Structure formats: structure tokens, C-alpha cells
Structure 1
Amino acid sequence: MAGDQSVTLETYPDREILAMDVADKLASELRAALAQKDVVSLAVAGGTTPGPIFDVLCDVDLDWDRVRVLPTDERWVPEDDPRSNAKLIRERLLTGRAAAAVQVPMAAAPQDPDTALAELESRIAPLLPLDIVVLGMGADMHTASLFPGTPGLADALAPNAPVLAVLRPESQPEVRVSLTARVLQDAMRTHLVITGADKREALDRARQLPLEEAPVRAILGGTTIHWAE
């Protein structure tokens, strides 16, 4: 599934319309999944791009108490740290009507991440395959915390990868824990949200590069890409 088949590209006139449209699509997909299952999983990226989407989605009227929300990746920091994805999710998504959703953490700082990995995986495994995944991408073509050139990346991209991987990107100040490519690929529905000309150009380059140089390629098959300048 690491190829680029079945990629859908949606473009928007501005970022505000992108946020509203993606939130509407996610709401529709959540409702459809909730009609089929008792519990639905939603994995979302951190960073600045998804925040406006969360601001819209959090007020949608649906059975949020049956939704389990987790980050696609996490910095190994306390949950009240400003760089914590869990903090962003809690403050921007799990508010309003969405406050009834259940948050599934992916960090247990100050424990050692390698030691805590089995416990974290045990929380996520019952939710697999994930119902809906919302990813971002950096200009370096990383997605989740699958950064190019990071030690251990090949294992995280492997078809037989575990649920989670501990990664230590040299370009980042913190250790990261990330869903592996296998778990992201197996999601029922995947959205990649990017903004700016630099990321659009990076995405175009990524399609011509090996996976370890452009890890985002691992999740492009079957993904809907949303882009605005």
C-alpha cells in the first residue's frame, strides 16, 4: 500500500473553507462509522494545521461518547506541556459537544518510552483498524513522527511493524512515539491536510522518492489530500 494509487486531491480557495469542509467530511464519516459500530476510533495529527478543523468539528452533534480520540504521534513530554499533541487535542477538539469523547493518550512521561511502549500499545490495539485518520505533513515529507533519516525508521515503515515506534529524530528536541506506517495504512479512511505552496511542492517531490527519504509516501494509497494555499 506504499504506492500512490487512489489518491484524491481536494483544493480549497482558502484555509478557512478547508477547515470547514474537512470538518464536515469527518463528521459525516464519524456518523457513518457510528451507525455500524459501538465504538469508533479517530486518530488526529498535532501541529498548527488541524487546529481550525478541530474548532469546527468539536461542535458537531453526534454520539461523541462512543468516539475514542488519539494522536497519530506524540512528543514524549508531559500532557500539560505546550508541545504536547494531547494538550492540543484536549483544548481544541475535546471541548463543546466533543468533550464527551474519550481521549487515548500516547505518552507516559517521565517514564522511559521504550519501557512504556507495551502498555501504550495495549490501549490502542483494541481500536484497530482505526476508523478515521487525519494526518499532516512537514516540508521535509515526514508524516506523524516518521521523519526521513531517523534511526529506526525502516522498522516503522516495515509491513510487519508493531503498533507503535519510538523515534529519535535528530531534527527534533524530543523523543517521539508514533503509529507505524502499517497501522496508518490499515485505517478505513485517511485524510492528509496540508497548506502552503512549499508543502504542495514537497508532496509532488515525495511521489518520486524512496520511502525512507519521503515517509509520507507510505500513506498516500487511498488517501484524500486536502490542500489550500
Structure 2
Amino acid sequence: MKFLEYPDREMLAMDLANQLAGDLKSHLTVAETVAFAVPGGTTPGPIFDALCAADLEWERVHLLPTDERWVAPDHPRSNAGLIRSRLITGRAAVAGFLPLWEPEETPEAALPAIIARVRPELPLSVLLLGMGEDLHVASLFPGAEWLSLALSEDAPAVVVLRPETVPEARISLTAPVLNGALSKHLVLYGEAKRAALERAMTLPPEEAPVQAVLKNTTVHWAD
């Protein structure tokens, strides 16, 4: 794990966007297309705003969420909605998008189609993650049913989780998929999350799922 500290969040967003663009360009020199997994939530918005202006062959970039709430794409809590509005715009408007959602009644019913969509994209070329103060990444929440499956070496590419601490079921990429990305970045804001990351270093992945993805990951932090 490599830890980078920034003087402020604006500087972090700009520098990390440049690093992500550089990673994508590098992988595009050796592959016809690249898979780039990104989080939802509030953290990545400013990073997306800077990254979407990057001068690269976006039509060869396949974007996908690291996880998704089981809500329709036009719902305010949809990760896909954030990604489309803040990242798949400007120069990046021509990027491909692979949703982790299907118009099925339940996420379990949609899972086979989603796995079939994701599997050909692996390994991920570039990964951007956030982390909650409870040490979750993507939708791998401590204590969630099926977390042990999502952390296992032979996990499927995608699982359904129903954490008790959030209102919707979740679809999430699993730990082997996240950890197997060729370039990995984790962004954290604030002293509380820095302290949480330090605490995670002393815990097993079952209690701190972020532990499962830290190897060779660059952590970007600003207060």
C-alpha cells in the first residue's frame, strides 16, 4: 500500500484525475479496451469532473460501478446516475457503460445477466474506490450476509448483499475482482477515515473488508 497526502481536497481531485488518466492511457497501449470500475456516493464527484476532460480514447474505455443500489437508474440514489452525470460527459461521453442493474423484480433474478456482462471485462484495468468509516468498500459491508462468499478466493464476479445498515439491497463486485485490478486507487477524506484505515490494518477482512483490496493500492488522502 502506498499512502499519498494532499494539502486539500481540490488538489487531490486534480492530481488523482491525472493519475487515473495516465493509468488508462498506459493500459490502452497494450489492450484494445480497458475496464474502469468507479464508486458512487459523494466522494468521487469532483474527481469525475476533472477526469471527464482528459484527452484519451474514451470510446475504448468500459466504465462500470464497483457496486450498485437496487434502484432504477433514474433514482437519486443510483450510482449509475452519478457516473453518467459527472463522468460520462465532456470528452468521456463516448465511453461505454456496463450497469450492475437489470429491470428484474429482484437483484437475485438479475445476477446471471450481470455476471455475464462483467466477466469478459476482467481483470479490471483501473479501479477507484472509496471507503466508509465502517471499513466497507464497494458494498462489502462488515456483517452483511454473503460477505464471506464475496471475500472468498473462488467468489463469483458479482454478488447480492443486503446489509442491515442501508435501505436497499446491493449488487457488488467481489473482493477477488476488486483486488485483481491492475491499477488500484482508494480515496479518503477527513481524519476520521484516516483513523479508520489505520484501524483496518489491524483487523481481518471479515471485520474490515477494505483489508481485502489494500495490496498494491495507492491511497489518496486529504483532510
Q: 2:64 aligns with which of 70, 73, 97?
A: 70
Cα deviation code 1:115-162 (max 9, x no counterpart): 110100111111100000000000000000000000110110001100
The match for 2:179 is 185
Runs of 5+ unmatched residues, structure 2: none
Q: CA deviation at 1:61?
A: 1.1
Cα distance in structure 2, aligned partners of 1:97 and 1:207: 38
CA contact (8 A) 2:126 2:181 kept: yes
Q: Which residue of 1 aligns with 2:141?
A: 147
Structure 2 counterpart SS, 1:211: coil
Aligned 1:140-179 pairs, distance under 5 A: 140-179=134-173
Amino acid of the residue matched to residue 48 of structure 2?
F
1:34 aligns with 2:28: yes
Of 121, 124, 137, the residue aligned with 1:127 is 121
Cα deviation digits, residues 60-105 of structure 1 (max 9, x gap): 1110000000000000000011100000000000000000001110
Does residue 107 (structure 1) correspond to residue 138 (structure 2)? The answer is no
Q: Which residue of 2 aligns with 1:203?
A: 197
Verify: 1:223 aligned to 2:217, yes or no: yes
- Give TM-score scaled by structure 2 length: 0.99
Q: Partner of 1:36: helix, strand, or coil?
A: coil
**Aligned residues of 2:104 and 2:110 also touching (Cα < 8 A):** no
Shift of 1:111: 2.7
Does the alignment pair 1:16 with 2:10?
Answer: yes
User: 2-side partners of 1:15 and 1:28: how far apart?
Assistant: 20
Alignment check: 8 A CA contact 2:9 2:222 kept: yes
Q: Which runs of 5+ in 1 are unaligned?
A: 1-6
Instruction: Report the Cα distance in structure 1 between the residues aligned to 2:195 and 2:175, rounded to whole angstroms.
Output: 22
Q: Secondary structure at the match of 2:68?
A: strand
Displaced runs of 4+ in structure 1, greater than 6 A? none
Q: How many angstroms apart in 2 are the aligned matches of 1:111 and 1:88?
A: 23
Q: In the alignment, residue 74 of structure 2 is paired with which amino acid?
A: D
Matched to 1:130, the amino acid is: L
Measure how far apart 1:110 and its partner are.
4.4
* Identical counterparts, % of pairs: 56
TM-score, normalised by the number of residues in structure 1: 0.96
- Matches of 2:206 and 2:166 in 1, distance apart? 17
Aligned-residue CA RMSD in angstroms? Answer: 0.7
What is the rounded CA distance, in whole Å, between the counterparts of 2:80 and 2:104 in structure 1?
Answer: 15
The answer to whether the 8 A contact 1:76-1:108 is kept is no
Q: For this pair of structures, how many residues does the alignment match?
A: 223
